[in-house]
Amino acid sequence: MKQHIQTWLKQHAHAFFFSLGQYIKNPINNILTTFVIGISLAFPVGFYVFLNNVQILSSGWDDSIEINLFLDTTIDEEQANVFANRISKRDDVAETILINKDEALAEYKKLSGLSGALDVLDENPFPNVILVKPVFVDIDEYKTTKLINELEVMPEIDDVQYDNTWIKRLIHIIDIVKLVTFILSVLLAIAVLLIVGNTIRLSIYSYRHEIEITKLFGGTDSFIQRPFLYSGMWYGIFGSVIAWFLIAVSIQILSGPIENLSNLYAGDFQLVGLGVINTLYLFGIGVLLGLLGSWASVKRYLYAIEAK
C-alpha cells in the first residue's frame, strides 16, 4: 500500500513539473493564451466588483430615503408625538422625526415669501408631519413598500408621500446589470473552455506518437491525461493571476476619481476590491475551467484512438 502511494505521488510530481516545464518551454504562445484567458475571466469579475460596490454604497442611503406622513388635522402635537414614538418602535423603521404644524408653517413662510398672506389666517392650516426613515438594505425595496402599505391604512394618517421613482429606476438598472453579468460569465466561461481545449488539443497533437505507443504498452487513460490536466491547471492559475491583476489595476486607477467625486457629495466612499474570499473563488473557477477544458480535449482524443 505504501509503495503504491509513493508511486502515485511520483507520477503526479512528474506530471506536475513536466507540464510546468512545457509551459515555460514555449513562453510566447502560452503567455498570449493565458492573457486571453485572464481577460475573459476579468470581465465578469469586474462586473461583480462593480455590483458589490453598489451594494456597499446603497447601505448608506438610509439617510436620504424618507417617507412623509401627513397626519389628520384633528391630531394635536401631543398625540402626534405619541404616534411617532409608536412607529419608531417598528423593526422596519430606522428613525422618526416629528415636525409639528407650527414649525411647518414657519418654514413655509420662510421659503414661500407669503408670510403676510398667511398671517391673516385664523388658524394654522398645516398638519403635523412625521418623517419616517425606513430600514433600507441592499437595494431591496420590498420591506419599504410593505411599510408604506401598512402606514396608509392607519386612521391617524391623512396622506403618505414617498418619492421612490429614482430607487425603482436604480433597482431595474441593477437587475439588468446582474443579468448581463450572468450572461457574460456563461459566455466567457465557454470561451475559456474552448481556448484551453484547443490549446491542449494542439499539445496532444505534438505528442500523438508517444501517446499511441503508451497505449500499445498498456498505459492507462489516467496516466496519459495527467500531464495535460496539469497543463490546464496552469492555464487556469496563471489566467486567474492576470485577471486579478487587471481588476486590481482598474480599481487603483478608478479610486482617485471616485474618491474626488465622493468628497463633492460630502461622502467618504472608497472602492472595494475582491478581497481574500472572492480571490479564492476566482482562482478556483479559473482552475476548474482549465481542468474541464483539458479533460474534455484529452478524452475526445483518447476516444478517437480507441475508435480506430
Query: Is there a single domain that holds both residue 8 and residue 141?
Result: no
User: For the chain, how many structural domains are there in total?
Assistant: 2
Joined grid coordinates for residue 132: 419616517
Return d(Cα 263, Cα 257) in angstroms, integer: 10
Domain endpoint, select from 113, 143, 163? 163
Indicate the burial class of 116 (C-beta count within 10 angstroms; 0-12, 13-18, 19 or more).
exposed
Question: How much of the chain exceeds pLDDT 90, in percent?
Answer: 4
Query: Is there a single domain that holds both residue 42 and residue 185?
Result: yes
Comparing CA positions, the residue from 51, 70, 79, 287 lying closest to residue 158 is 70
Note the pLDDT tens digit of each residue in 169-195: 777 777 788 888 888 888 888 888 888
Domain endpoint, select from 105, 130, 163? 163
Joined grid coordinates for residue 260: 474626488
Residue 208 structural domain: 2-59+169-307
Query: Is there a single domain that holds both residue 178 and residue 44?
Result: yes
Query: Is there a single domain that holds both residue 175 and residue 265?
Result: yes
Instruction: Tell me which long-range contacts 296-300 makes (C-beta under 8 A, separation of at least 24).
Output: 296/193, 296/197, 297/196, 297/197, 297/198, 297/200, 297/201, 297/204, 297/228, 298/200, 298/204, 298/224, 298/225, 298/228, 298/229, 299/221, 299/225, 300/201
Q: What are phi and psi of 134, to 5 degrees?
A: -75, 160
pLDDT band at 219 (very low <50, low <70, confident <90, very high): low
Comparing CA positions, the residue from 41, 34, 95, 102 lying closest to residue 63 is 95
Note the pLDDT tens digit of each residue in 35-51: 888 988 888 888 888 88
Give the pTM: 0.69
Comparing CA positions, the residue from 301, 75, 43 lying closest to residue 197 is 301
- CATH number for 124: 3.30.70.3040
Query: Is there a single domain that holds both residue 46 and residue 76?
Result: no
Query: Is there a single domain that holds both residue 98 and residue 124?
Result: yes
Lowest-confidence region among 152-161, 232-241, 259-268: 259-268
Query: Is there a single domain that holds both residue 50 and residue 191?
Result: yes
Return d(Cα 239, Cα 35) in angstroms, integer: 6
Comparing CA positions, the residue from 200, 170, 233, 268 lying closest to residue 12 is 233
Query: Is there a single domain that holds both residue 45 and residue 184?
Result: yes
Note the pLDDT tens digit of each residue in 126-141: 678 888 887 765 555 6
Residue 306's pLDDT is 62
- SS3 assignment, position 149: helix
Domain endpoint, select from 147, 163, 179? 163
Rg (CA), the chain: 32
Query: Is there a single domain that holds both residue 15 and residue 136?
Result: no
Query: Is there a single domain that holds both residue 125 and residue 176?
Result: no
Query: Is there a single domain that holds both residue 49 and residue 70?
Result: no
Comparing CA positions, the residue from 208, 177, 170 lying closest to residue 43 is 177
Query: Is there a single domain that holds both residue 133 and residue 187?
Result: no
CB-CB contact of 68 with 131 (8 Å): yes
